Structure 1
Amino acid sequence: MSAMTRRTLLGAIATSPLWLQAAWAQPTNLKISHQFPGGSVAEGDFRDRLCRMFAAGVERRSKGRLKFSIYPQSSLMKSEEQIPAVSRGQLDMALVPLTYAGAELPEVNIGLMPGLVTSYEQGYAWKDAEIGKEFSRMLADKGIIILSWIWQAGGVASRGKPIVNPEDAAGLKVRGGSHEMDLMLKEAGANVVSMPSNEIRAAMEKGQLDAAMTSSSSLISFRLDEVSKYVTTARGGAYWFMLEPLLISKAAFDRLTKEQQGILMSVGAELEAFARKSAQTDDTAVAALFQGKGGKTVDLNGETLRKWQELARATAWKDYGSRNENCAKLLALAEKTLA
């Protein structure tokens, strides 16, 4: 910027109405929505903590130009409404399971495809692999940008008996968590019930659910140990890995300066290590939680994992790949990451 241009700009600001100067100086406030219990930076569900750590980190690095309001426990909008709202620019940010938008955007269901991701190493490798780049491009086309890649392993809370092998689900009312999980469970003989994770506890209390598959962190935060007796953990491996990222609306992102965009992306990437460590900690903590309440804990092994993966390949993977050209491409790229 030339000296003359700079003087002209500063002069215009100095002589502009006070309301215009105030508007120019106002920090940008972004709203972050999620469905999990609220806490603090130091305590509580790690997904809420991550949102608060992100907000604090960005506000500090932007010198207060970017601020955030955090809305836990679906207090701003319903769980299923968050991704469509982010996509349309009606919500700034959300930390939410991508599969909640599976009916409207079938491509996102690859983020909870049974048996496709079986370890944190494999899941986090997606970000820089072909699958991650193509998935990010596809989401950007839908108006969504990933700031933090967050993978979580999950288990099964059940009331009457542990669910270890596919045949254990036969005849039970089970919550799977995605269209693809539901297809696999139906093939195993289960009666599938669909709902967001924050509604599981009430459904189990009322007898509307016999078992529920969800992340280890949700098993803990929603106190499912109080309404179920058994838990199948992810400690010995899991066929249930969910991509639950921190998202920002492309519309909100594009309104920021390049410097501010860089700050958001940097802070988001740095928090991925915290997310991974926290999720793995919860995989172990959920076992201790159930045992402490007199419940029983079981784990999977290589043989049981193969059974679930074979069932998933014949049902969920096949269905997903046939949905559209994007799904087929994403599935093929994801399969390249299989060990």
Structure 2
Amino acid sequence: MTALAPSPTLSETTRTTPGAGWLLRLHRPALYLWIGAVAVLAVVLLWLGGPLTDSAATAWREYDKSCDTGGSCRYDQDSIVRYKDVYAYTTAALTALPFVVAAWAGAALFGRELEHGTAQLAWTQNLSPTRWLTTKLIVPAVLVTAGTGLLVALHRVMWTAGDGRIDTADAWYANLTLHANGPTTVAFALTGLAGGALAGVLLRRTLPALTLALACVAALRFLADQLMPHLWPAVTQVTSLADGYRGSGLNVDSGLVTATGAHIADPGCGSTIVAGCKTVYADLDATGFYTTYHPESHYWPLQLTTTALVLAVAAALAVTAFVLLKRSTAAPARVRTEAAA
């Protein structure tokens, strides 16, 4: 295996190409790893959405035909298990990408260079701090958006191929699938990049910057999950006590409806088929159940509103990084100017 050529020294690269070329050469191993990871995941997703989905769907048809009718229950169980396993691994890998981007941005892209003085050396030549940070954000942002966007598109194609054909396939509102199928994953990855920039500029140490960048993505992911159901008007369906709950989708709220139309908490008794539940509901003056949820038709409104919110946070993190960098470099520059005078 041929060894990689050593990266040009900082002085050489900043004198010649203080832009995208300099950044790509300086972080060449990370670029190769990113391209390789995207390529591998893309191939696996294509395999999953094609042959694996077809074989699993065939196995489910065999199961429904023989087992449900009291037959000998002969079907290809291995195909079903294989599809489920590969789906789980690829979806988890796509979910982890924003955290990988955050860790790399906080540790290698910003924290390490500021800790070791590489960035400060570049600023003494023909690369200003603002241009340094701009280049380090724009070039990776393009690569992260392109790679993550491609994988999200392939994941959605793969999921659509199995929707309605594979009985154990994840519903559209399952948490990991919900984000892996849409642009929120791309927005989380860009937040990881911006969070890494802010963490590096703020802390100027590798491991603390890595930790803070990961915490930014984790916190934003948690908040996005909590806010997403409330970013678009939901649908409320009311059913009788005998029918129980109805409505399938991203759940927002559920409970009992009283005779006055008020919504109250469900004591968890069940439908009126369960012995004693009629008395429980009579004491509560309950007349039915309500379910507030988002049907599948709300998928894109939910995705787009959440993506816009996450991108706004990413932009705020990036702007804060620029402000902090400008403040931290302005004072030393002023001191040097006064000393020279």
> TM-score by structure 1 length?
0.25
> TM-score by structure 2 length?
0.25
Q: Which has the higher contact order (CA 8 A, sep 6+)?
A: 1
The structure number with the bigger radius of gyration is 2
Higher percent of residues as strand: 1
Higher percent of residues as helix: 2
